[in-house]
Amino acid sequence: MASTTQGTTTGTTGTTAGTTGRPPVVDLATWEAARDALLAREKAHTHEGDAIAAERRRLPMVEVDGGVEVVGADGPVPFVELFQGREELVAYHHMWHDGAPFQGQCEGCTVSAWALRDSVYLRAAGVAFAVLTEGPWDEVPPYLDFMGYTEPWYSVRGVAWPVGEHMGRITCFLRDGDRVFLTYDTTGRGVELANPVFGLLDLTPYGRREAWQDVPEGWPQGHRPCWYWRTDADGAPGWETTRPTPQWTRPGATPVTALGRHTHHH
């Protein structure tokens, strides 16, 4: 039976998405057939991802200085201690703006760090986790307290790559006794896997609502990338007098223009 939506008649063949900004409306059997066809592609994509992961496991590795000192809550420690006795370590490299108020810190790194607040499943798999930041250590603890972060953070200021420098990335390390090896590194969209929200948004009809996406003609036009990373006090996305989105849930995050060390933005 045909139905009418927004003045457009639809039936089992549906309307074109471009006439309504919505997917076509069809009966359940038609939807299931389309879903099954896409599922075949999704399974192929998963299998290709498994093949890529298998190749990733076969990458060579490079030795790094496991004795180089980084600074954490207990003061300077050799990098090898970040493994906490485990064989593997996953590290997120968090950008830092010296002297900035809490809301002036990197919204992109906040996206990842906020999603990596609990590494319990990594630890259960025998993998340690740490956040490495280029910020001076004395500025870091107040920010961690405000954000409610409990995973270990370390300042790597002045430490050369691959332990320090080059922020906004995920690196993986392997330990063999006191020897430490870099096994993998990714940045850009490679760090999306740290936050499941991107995958969930990709499941929705309108996706991330970003202009680069391939959407049918007539659908809502996307915003610039990362448009929802910062919001104002009312939750509206924007980049002026705003904060990284999760900061509005933190204690003391009232509608003021500055929080933290200084009152200027970086």
In order along its 266 residues, the chain shows pLDDT tens digits of 333 333 333 333 344 444 468 899 999 999 999 999 999 999 999 999 999 999 999 999 999 999 999 999 999 999 999 999 999 999 999 999 999 988 889 999 999 999 999 999 999 999 999 999 999 999 999 999 999 999 999 999 999 999 999 999 999 999 999 999 999 999 999 999 999 999 999 999 999 999 999 988 888 878 888 888 988 877 788 766 678 989 888 866 665 555 655 544 33
Secondary structure (3-state) at 100: coil
**Domains (ranges, CATH) in the chain?**
57-193 (3.40.30.10)
Residue 129 is predicted with a pLDDT of: 98
- pLDDT, tens digit, for every residue of 150-165? 999 999 999 999 999 9
pLDDT, residue 12, reads 35
Is 172:88 a contact under the CB 8 Å cutoff?
yes
Which residues lie below 8 Å from residue 162, measured CB to CB, with a gap of 6+?
A: 62, 64, 171, 182, 185
Angle at 97 between CA 95 and CA 101, to 5 degrees: 120
pLDDT tens for 71-87 read 999 999 999 999 999 99
Tell me what pLDDT residue 4 has. 31
- Maximum Cα–Cα distance across the chain: 72
3-class DSSP string for 164-211? CCCCCEEEEEEEECCEEEEEEEEEHHHHHHHCHHHHHHHHCCCCCCEC
Residue 258, pLDDT score: 56
| Residue 144 contacts residue 131 (beta carbons within 8 Å) | no
Coil/strand/helix, residue 90: strand
| H or E element that contains 96 | none
d(CA 205, CA 68): 48
3-class state of residue 244 by DSSP? strand
Distance CA 27, CA 8 (A): 16
Amino acid at 17: A
Q: Taking the C-alpha atoms of 54, 58, 63 and 69 in order, what is their torsion angle to the nearest 10 degrees?
A: 0
Q: For the segment 92-115, what is each residue's pLDDT rounded down to a tens digit?
A: 999 999 999 888 899 999 999 999
